[in-house]
């Protein structure tokens, strides 16, 4: 099995072309990082806090609202609908392209989007104990999306390393 | 990623496309493309020289290999060739998606098909930005080795640069 940092750099490479998590209205580039140990509630909240503080830069009186960490979803639950929808977009873009070659750029974008979700899913699927969590609040629209997976056996010689993809997302 | 509008940026852009996945369809062997540039436009003579280098390489295990005298240079429509390959890749992708929906264990097939489509669509998109894009095949009757050259031009007069991809295909 490749190391967490090898997988992290493979994911970063695959995010170079396009990095826009589907279904989001905002530009939601994923950031990839790794850390030693397993993810816990505290880590979710601290990732989320960084995004919320960043979005409120300049607001001196900003206080973090009460945040809700969603129950974890499986990768399949999150990615399968995204893949199906990206695939439908490719099929439509291809019909448009066959009818009018000038629409080629839309086929390019649709293909890249499909490749993006499929690759991201593929990379995380290779990890152990994968899950997808969202951190939300009742007062603010952005949610923090956190996709994680682990490598390592959890021993001293082969410690657990968690690989995280995270983004602040606004769903359209 | 936006397709660059200068040849010096187009070269790394095209090379980057080939990083993840680099298999030209319609070959019975792994046929990776290589991207290069040439000052000036291609003549029949230059196409034959490119073929000579690749053909000798493909036959390097043959002692005393002589370049055949009956090599034929065939020009194919850039658009028609890519369109056929893209439609083939979309059909493969749709089949792979259906397989995946029936059995998630076939995910690697979906990954591969998505990469194959992206490879073709991005290459087509990249070369489309050039003037006079064309596909040339140099073949010899009785030899399975076919030299593929995808080329397009940038600039005019003394500043004309040809950007091209070559590969050695095996077609029996």
- pLDDT tens digit string along A74-127? 999 999 999 999 999 999 999 999 999 999 999 999 999 999 999 999 999 999
Of A19-28, A48-57, A149-158, B6-15, the range with the highest mean pLDDT is A48-57
CA distance B45 to chain A (A): 33
Q: In the structure encoding, which two tokens stand for residue A19, read together?
A: 């990095």
Terminal Cα distance for chain A, rounded: 37
Give the pLDDT score at B1. Answer: 57
Partner-chain residue, chosen from B16, B101, B118, that has the shortest CB–CB distance to A111:
B118
Q: In the structure encoding, which two tokens stand for residue B92, read together?
A: 């493969």
CA distance B69 to chain A (A): 40
Closest residue, chain B, to A10 (C-alpha): B20
Q: What's the Cα-to-Cα distance from B55 to each of A12, B41, B70, B71, B162, rounded to whole Å?
A: 37, 22, 13, 11, 21
Give the pLDDT score at B160. Answer: 93
Contacts of B19 in chain A (CB under 8 A): 13
Could you report the per-residue pLDDT of B128-151, keeping only the tens digit for each? 999 999 999 999 998 899 999 999
Domain ranges across chain A? 4-73+123-169
Could you report the per-residue pLDDT of B68-86, keeping only the tens digit for each? 999 999 999 999 999 999 9
Judged by a CB distance cut-off of 8 A, whether residue A91 touches chain B is: yes
> What is A4-73+123-169's CATH number, 3.40.1460, 3.40.50, 2.60.40, 1.10.8?
3.40.1460
Partner-chain residue, chosen from B101, B118, B124, that has the shortest CB–CB distance to A115:
B118
Residue A10 has pLDDT above 90, yes or no: no
Could you report the per-residue pLDDT of A24-43, keeping only the tens digit for each? 876 778 999 999 999 999 99
Contacts of A111 in chain B (CB under 8 A): 114, 117-118, 121-122
Question: What ipTM goes with this model?
Answer: 0.88
> Per CATH, the architecture of B32-58+71-170 is what?
3-Layer(aba) Sandwich (3.40)
Partner-chain residue, chosen from B94, B104, B121, that has the shortest CB–CB distance to A107:
B121
Starting at the earlier edge strand, list the strands of the sheet with A31-36: A31-36, A161-169, A143-151, A128-137, A67-69
Whether A91 and B20 lie within 8 Å, measured CB to CB: no
Residue B76 has φ and ψ, to the nearest 5°, of: -120, 155
- The alpha carbon dihedral of B82, B88, B89, B91 has a sign of positive
Whether A111 and B117 lie within 8 Å, measured CB to CB: yes
- The alpha carbon dihedral of A44, A45, A46, A52 has a sign of positive
């Amino acid at each position: 099995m490749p190391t967490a940092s090898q997988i992290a750099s493979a994911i970063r490479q695959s995010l170079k072309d396009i990095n826009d998590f589907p279904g989001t209205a905002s530009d939601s580039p994923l950031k990839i990082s790794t850390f030693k140990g397993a993810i816990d509630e505290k880590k979710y909240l601290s990732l989320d806090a960084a995004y919320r503080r960043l979005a409120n830069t300049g607001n001196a009186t900003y206080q973090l609202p009460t945040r809700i960490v969603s129950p974890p979803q499986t990768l399949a639950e999150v990615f399968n609908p995204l893949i199906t929808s990206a695939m439908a977009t490719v099929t439509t873009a291809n019909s448009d392209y066959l009818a009018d070659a000038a629409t080629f750029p839309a086929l390019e974008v649709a293909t890249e989007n499909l490749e993006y979700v499929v690759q991201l899913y593929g990379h995380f699927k290779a990890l152990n104990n994968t899950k997808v969590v969202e951190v939300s609040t009742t007062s603010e629209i952005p949610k923090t999306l956190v996709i994680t997976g682990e490598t390592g056996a959890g021993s001293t010689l082969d410690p657990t390393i968690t690989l995280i993809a995270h983004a602040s997302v606004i769903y359209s | 990623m936006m397709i660059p509008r200068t040849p010096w940026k187009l070269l790394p852009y095209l090379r980057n496309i080939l990083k993840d996945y680099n298999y030209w369809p319609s070959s019975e062997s792994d046929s990776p493309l290589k991207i290069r540039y040439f000052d000036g436009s291609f003549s029949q003579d230059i196409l034959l020289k490119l073929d000579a280098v690749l053909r000798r390489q493909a036959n390097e295990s043959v002692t005393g290999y002589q370049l055949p005298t009956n090599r034929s240079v065939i020009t194919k429509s850039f658009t028609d060739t890519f369109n056929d390959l893209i439609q083939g890749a979309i059909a493969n992708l749709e089949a792979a998606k259906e397989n995946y929906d029936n059995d998630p264990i076939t995910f690697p097939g979906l990954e591969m098909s998505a990469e194959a489509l992206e490879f073709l669509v991005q290459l087509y998109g990249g070369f489309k930005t050039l003037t006079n894009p064309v596909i040339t095949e140099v073949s010899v009757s009785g030899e399975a080795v076919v030299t593929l050259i995808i080329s397009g031009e940038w600039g005019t007069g003394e500043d004309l640069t040809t950007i091209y991809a070559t590969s050695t295909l095996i077609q029996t």
